Amino acid sequence: MSKTRFIGPWRRRFQWVTTLLLLVLPWLEVDGKSLLRIDIPGLNLYLFGQILRIEELYLVLLATLIFVLSFLLITVVLGRVWCGWLCPQTTLSDVAEWAARFLGLKVQRNSLHGPLRGKILLQLVYLFLAFLVASNLLWYFIQPRLFFARLVTFDLHYAAWITFIVTGLLVYLDLAAVRRLICSDFCPYGRVQTAIVDKATLTLHLPDAELERCIECGSCVRNCPMEIDIRHGYQVECTNCGRCLDACRQVMAKRSEPGLIRYTFGLHGEGARGLLNPRVLLPGVAMLVLAVVLLVALVGRPVASLKVSVSHTAAARQLADGRIGTFFNAWVNNRSQETADYTLQARKKESGASLPIKGQVRAELSAGENRRLDFVLVTPANESLTVEFVLTGEEGLELSTAEAYIGKIEEE
């Protein structure tokens, strides 16, 4: 007889891997830069080796759109797999209930039964988990080492404190009082999934044809954390955790029979091929196209950017030799992964003749740094012209340009 295969261990491994990934990702760095972090003060997004500035938000929107489409696709193809295998809420509830059982408590109808000592110790576990989740969230905004250094010295920004305390409190209340009720009563995902499901979506169920083999042992119901009976068909509370499937396989293995409950593509034997329809293929193709666009945009983005504007704090003035000095501010952004030297030059757009500029025209910027440079452009008197500013890198390579219009200053 073949060995009974259970999906529980695979599901737990998957939860471990995704949870560790969530926890470890903010700690990982490439050349001293976070792999994934939103730097609010610097208005940068560290995205897997790329540093995106706020003005490159379209790339973030593109990435978000891809994420939304992939989520939609996972839902249409794999059904409620998100709930049982990936959702952090399910993982937290699983960990909380595992800890409760470890401390000798019984979890029944979402409430705990057992010795007071176990219940008190469990509150400490909840507090630790709440602290971990709230910290983990903030690590995506503040480098983890910096976060801990500022936490112990009470030196976090007030917005970070509010986020930390509110998140910690919500997670603690969730673990202590809500847990599975979030899935059954509050989370809208189950309802949305029901609306967008395809006829061939992967579904965990008990096929009608198998019902007659059911020995009414009730093991599937006893093992269901949502306390539902899968024999009554699809229910919105079901998180597709697969515990009932394993329970049934275990029971039926003793009778040398296969389990009754299973994952199938479609409820009526449609099979995975049933997913080859426009409802699945269209978002799939859209997602692939957007992914290619994003990749091309990321690879082709310039390694530095330049923005120039006339200073609002200093007016243009006539110099002793009659020429005009106009005060400018330039914003230079090093989008590369390395420290780089930049030089700013100016020329007439029409003829290409160079124009003198004085002030901060050279700068060394670290990777991802955005810096303001102040300088004065000197132009001939009584001449209106379009000026092209050029940012050059090492070896005089032109990296970015910006334009400004200089009007005539009429003599009084």
Q: Does 87 bind ligand SF4 (CB under 6 A)?
A: no
With contacts defined by CB under 6 A, how many residues of the chain interact with ligand SF4?
27
Q: Does 35 bind ligand SF4 (CB under 6 A)?
A: no
Q: Does 77 bind ligand SF4 (CB under 6 A)?
A: no
Q: Which stretch binds ligand SF4 (CB under 6 A): 63-71, 240-248, 346-354, 386-394?
A: 240-248
Both tokens of residue 241? 């955790």
Shortest reach from residue 250's CB to ligand SF4, in Å: 8
Q: Which stretch binds ligand SF4 (CB under 6 A): 157-165, 243-251, 298-306, 376-384?
A: 243-251
Q: Give the 3-state DSSP-derived string for the chain, with helices as H, strands as E and coil as C.
A: CCCCCCCHHHHHHHHHHHHHHHHHHHHCEECCEECEEEECCCCEEEECCEEEEHHHHHHHHHHHHHHHHHHHHHHHHHCCHHHHHHCHHHHHHHHHHHHHHHCCCEEECCEEECCHHHHHHHHHHHHHHHHHHHHHHHHCCCCHHHHHHHHHCCCCCHHHHHHHHHHHHHHHHHHHHHCHHHHHHHCCHHHHHHHHCCCCCEEEECCHHHHHHCCCCCHHHHCCCCCCCHHHCCCCCCCCCCHHHHHHHHHHHCCCCCCCCEEEECCCCCCHHHHCCHHHHHHHHHHHHHHHHHHHHHHHCCCEEEEEEECCCCCCEECCCCCEEEEEEEEEEECCCCCEEEEEEEEECCCCCEECEEECCEEEECCCCEEEEEEEEEECCCCCEEEEEEEECHHHCEEEEEEEEECCCCCC
Q: Does 368 bind ligand SF4 (CB under 6 A)?
A: no
Residue of 15, 143, 240, 334 that binds ligand SF4 (CB under 6 A): 240
Shortest reach from residue 85's CB to ligand SF4, in Å: 11
Q: Which stretch binds ligand SF4 (CB under 6 A): 56-64, 166-174, 212-220, 348-356?
A: 212-220
Shortest reach from residue 258's CB to ligand SF4, in Å: 11
Q: Does 248 bind ligand SF4 (CB under 6 A)?
A: yes
| CB nearer to ligand SF4: pick between 79 and 144 | 79
Residue of 73, 171, 244, 406 that binds ligand SF4 (CB under 6 A): 244
Q: Which stretch binds ligand SF4 (CB under 6 A): 28-36, 234-242, 292-300, 313-321?
A: 234-242
Q: Does 260 bind ligand SF4 (CB under 6 A)?
A: yes
Q: Does 205 bind ligand SF4 (CB under 6 A)?
A: no
Q: For tokens 């091929």, what's the residue?
A: 273
CB atoms within 10 A of CB 410: 6
Residue of 22, 40, 187, 214 that binds ligand SF4 (CB under 6 A): 214
Beta bridge partners of 385: 406
Residue 56 CA, distance from chain mean position: 17
Shortest reach from residue 259's CB to ligand SF4, in Å: 7
Q: Which stretch binds ligand SF4 (CB under 6 A): 26-34, 95-103, 154-162, 220-228?
A: 220-228
Residue of 100, 226, 363, 391 that binds ligand SF4 (CB under 6 A): 226
Q: Does 243 bind ligand SF4 (CB under 6 A)?
A: yes
Q: Does 185 bind ligand SF4 (CB under 6 A)?
A: no
| CB nearer to ligand SF4: pick between 57 and 192 | 192
Q: Does 224 bind ligand SF4 (CB under 6 A)?
A: yes
Q: Does 215 bind ligand SF4 (CB under 6 A)?
A: yes
Residues that bind ligand SF4 (CB under 6 A): 204, 206, 214-220, 223-224, 226, 228, 230-231, 238-244, 247-248, 251, 260-261
